[in-house]
Structures are given as C-alpha cells and as structure tokens.
Amino acid sequence: MTVTTAKWTLDDYHRMIEVGILSGRQVELLNGEIVQMPPEGPEHAQLSTDAGDYLRSLLGEKALIRDAKPITIPQTNSEPEPDLAIVQPLRQLYRTRHPYPENIFWVIEYANTSLSKDLDTKRKAYASCEIREYWVVDLKNRLVKVFRNPVDGNYIEETTLIDGEINPFAFEEIKISIKKLFL
C-alpha cells in the first residue's frame, strides 16, 4: 500500500489562519506541508534583528526589510517566514498580500538548529520561484553561504564567505560587511 500525504494549498492555509486553527503555533507552509518552526534562541533572534537594522541603514527607502514575516510562493504552495526578506518598497500592496517572488530582492535565513532545512528545502523553494539571491547565515560555523542565479529549481552559484564584503545583485553599489551579520 502506498501512503500519499495530503498537501495544503495557499488558500487552505490562509483559511486555517483566518479561523484560528493555527493560533499560537509557530508554523509555515513549505511545499504544501505545514511545518513546525524551531524556536529561536537569543543569539539567532538578536543577530537577525541587528542585521535587519544594519540593512535598513544601508538601503534606506530603496527596499523594505521584513523581519520574520511571510512571503508567498504560489509556484510551490509555500509561505515561508524567512528571518529577513529584502523586498520592493510596496507598503500599500503588502497590506493586502505578502510579497511574491517578483517583489523580492533577496532572502536571508539565520540558521542554527534549522541549518539542514535552510540549505535544502528552503533553498529549493526559493530557487524554484527564481528568487535571485539567498543567503544562509550559519551561526555555528560563523559563515555565510550565498546562493545566486536560480536555474531549474536550483542555484547554480554558491559561495561561502567568512569575511569581507558582498554586493547584493539588486544593489551592486551597496557593500555589506559579512562580519556585521554576526555582530
């Protein structure tokens, strides 16, 4: 006998949220599955908050920095909540819906206990909808994995950084210090 997992649609997920079925639960929708999110430790919480503030100081009004807020990926029935999503500054639009892939400059996940999920499931979800750039800040090993150029559901460029600066694709004039992502 073959067991088939029932998948949820974005509409199903939104209805569950609206009627309170998921109240008080830390979950996100990934590939049609409702997935429990691990609790954030103090270091994860503070470093991602500080990084959001740092990016706001660099980008100003060029982008919105969304801290642990949903993004919607219709292509995969996913609504992950990345630690940081750097998105087009469309404040009015985001009052009616979350950012879609075409609104997203890049996404950053801070990873400690979630490292394998961030490097696999989330990387594939972001690549499949062609989010151009995805960073994973590995707290345990103090490094940043940068994924770029999505093709056929995977990123074809992967760089590991422990120091120096990086220029995001969307804002090549901006230099982001790798160390400041950990301070």
Residues in the chain: 183
Domain with residue 73: its CATH number is: 3.90.1570.10
* Residue that is written with structure tokens 């919480």 in the block: 45
Name the nearest CA neighbour of 135 among 91, 169, 100, 183: 169
Q: Is residue 27 part of a domain?
A: no
Tens-digit pLDDT string for the chain (183 aa): 788 888 999 999 999 999 999 998 999 999 999 999 888 899 999 999 999 999 999 999 999 999 999 999 999 999 999 999 999 999 999 999 999 999 999 999 998 877 788 888 899 999 999 999 999 999 999 999 999 999 999 999 999 999 999 999 999 999 999 999 987
The two beta strands, 176-177 and 133-138, are unpaired
The two beta strands, 133-138 and 104-111, are parallel
Rounded distance, CA 102 to CA 72, Å?
10
The pLDDT score that the predictor gives to residue 115 is 78
Q: Is residue 17 part of a domain?
A: no
Residues in CB range of 142: below 8 A, 6 or more apart: 162, 182
- State the pTM of this model: 0.93
Domain that holds residue 129: 40-181
Q: Is residue 62 part of a domain?
A: yes
Q: Is residue 112 part of a domain?
A: yes
Q: Is residue 145 part of a domain?
A: yes
Q: Is residue 13 part of a domain?
A: no
Bridge partner list, 36: 27
The pLDDT score that the predictor gives to residue 114 is 74
Task: Spell out the alpha helix ranges (H) of the chain.
Answer: 10-18, 42-59, 115-117, 123-128
What is the tally of structural domains in the chain? 1
Q: Is residue 24 part of a domain?
A: no
The pLDDT score that the predictor gives to residue 146 is 97
Joined together, the tokens standing for residue 152 give: 């056929």
Q: Is residue 61 part of a domain?
A: yes
Cα–Cα distance list, 64 to 61, 68, 147, 179 (Å):
7, 13, 21, 22
